Amino acid sequence: MSNSSPLRGKRIVLGVGGGIAAYKSVELMRRLMDCGAFVSPVLTKASLRFVGETTFSALGSESARTSLWDAGDPIPHTRLGQQADLVLVAPATADLIARYAAGIADELLTTTLVATNAPVVMVAAMHTEMWQHPSVVENIATLRRRGVVVIEPEIGRLAGGDIGVGRLASTGSVVEIIEEIFDGSTRALSGRKVLVTAGGTREAIDPVRYIGNRSSGKQGIAFAKAAARYGAEVTLVCTVPFESEPGINVIEVESAQEMFEAVSDAAGGFDLVVMAAAVADFRSKEISPTKIKKSHGAPQLVLEPTPDILAYLGSVKPKNQVLVGFAAETGGVEAEARRKLKDKNTDFVVANNVLEQDAGFGVDTNRVTLVFEDSALVLDLDDKRRIANRVLSFVAEWAGKNGVWSD
Ligand code: CTP
């Protein structure tokens, strides 16, 4: 597990509602604790028909609580609510959602919810008919208007064997959303314009074939999402499909030439450019307009260089722009990165060794070194989302310290 999870040291009240999915909150609690959170379980009376207090007491960061009237702690709800960095309810049943929306404080969990100023996340789980009932729909809308994060149920097998929407969201996706809530508390790029490129370019040989590379675009997309979470207005120039999200304007391209045109058109207006795309260095000099036939024998491909987009950006870089390049290497990583830093006039190079396990192409994790000036920051192996968060917060702080964004 990562030491750099934003959950490290956070106090989370885990409220468990009375639904069949209650057994899944044990696993959720463990995952939150693995990330370094301190989890206080609070069980409703109804949940005790599905799961046992002992399980949560044995596995939680402290004993489970089930009542407002525990001896020795006369006001557990205000204490829990005040100390919490976040209150998480999983599963949030139709009944709990209704009571919270109406402000009813009739047991420890509902009282804690009404007494807290911390962010609240409700992970809904119930039968499809209940989820779609107008009362539930209205209560959810009310809670969202008040700033509560509601994680919607997934489609899957429900109690009794029915299949439909209603199943508790997966533990992984709940943890991810909570991490983002804590991460997003920093608005390091608020009001900044950020350009990110992502994915490998494809250089056509004929209408069917192309020269390509192994880049999945995951790291670049993680940068675009992180920049948007940090408050930036993001333009993502991307070779892989990406469903647009608030704060991210997507331009789809395929070849190095198309990427060059999309980027060079607008580059001057950006405060930060993150050139994460794996741009092909060479393309076929001629593109056959029709499919090259095997029967005509092995074709001789003549290659020519593509435009070096990063080098071009470095050559026209305005004073108030931070330029971040990448270096995917198979050896001598830092030295190669430093050479690119200088040759392409970038402020940072994010370097990795793509031969290492768990780093580089296709996988969700990465191990990178951030090379800048005459220093290097070596980051631990981490998932690509957190790598993006860490690099961006570092870069934003550096830009602030060096007066690059002096407005
Ligand atoms: N890059 C670019 N345009 C190209 C090739 C690369 O903008 N035609 C950018 C990449 O997006 C990345 C950086 O340059 O940010 C480094 O890419 P890399 O292929 O490692 O660099 P090269 O200059 O091709 O160096 P070498 O082939 O010597 O390793």
Sequence ranges of the domains in the chain: 11-183, 188-401
- Tell me the two tokens of residue 97: 């959602």
CA–centroid distance, 211 to ligand 1, in Å, is: 16
Q: What's the helix, strand, coil split of the chain in %, to 5?
A: 35, 25, 40
Q: What confidence tier does 184 reach under pLDDT thresholds 50, 70, 90? A: low
The Cα 348–Cα 13 span in angstroms is 40
pLDDT at 70: 76
Residue type, 407: D
- Tell me the two tokens of residue 63: 């004993």
Mean pLDDT of 155-177: 88
Any residues with Cβ below 6 Å from ligand 1, and which?
A: 256, 275, 277, 279, 281, 306, 308-310, 325-328, 340
- Tell me the two tokens of residue 406: 């002096």
| CATH code for residues 188-401 | 3.40.50.10300
Buried-exposed string 259-280: b where 16+ CB fall within 10 A, e elsewhere: bbebbeeebeebbbbbbbbbbb
Q: Cβ distance 12 to 83 under 8 Å?
A: no
Residue 366 φ then ψ, to 5°:
-155, 155
Regarding predicted confidence, which is higher, 71 or 214? 214
CA–centroid distance, 276 to ligand 1, in Å, is: 10
Upper half-sphere CA count for residue 338 (Cβ side, 13 Å): 9
CA–centroid distance, 327 to ligand 1, in Å, is: 7
Give the chain's radius of gyration (CA, Å).
25
Q: What is the pLDDT of residues 284-308, one digit of tens each?
A: 999 999 999 999 999 999 999 999 9
| E strands, 101-230, in order | 120-124, 149-151, 154-157, 163-167, 193-198, 203-204, 210-211
Whether residue 233 is predicted with pLDDT greater than 80 in this model: the reply is yes
Residue 72 φ then ψ, to 5°:
90, -10
CA–centroid distance, 226 to ligand 1, in Å, is: 23
pLDDT at 4: 74
Q: Cβ distance 308 to 257 under 8 Å?
A: no
Among 223, 172, 236, 198, smallest CA distance to 394 is for 223
- Ligand 1 pocket check: which of 279, 329, 341, 349 to mutate, most ligand atoms within 8 Å of Cβ? 279
Mean pLDDT of the chain: 92
Query: Domain 11-183 is of which CATH architecture?
Result: 3-Layer(aba) Sandwich (3.40)
- Ligand 1 pocket check: which of 310, 324, 326 to mutate, most ligand atoms within 8 Å of Cβ? 310
DSSP 89: E
Residues in the chain: 407
Tell me what percent of the residues of the chain surpass a pLDDT of 90: 71
Q: Comparing 11-183 with 188-401, is the CATH topology the same?
A: yes
Alpha carbon 173 to chain centroid distance? 10
pTM score, whole prediction: 0.70
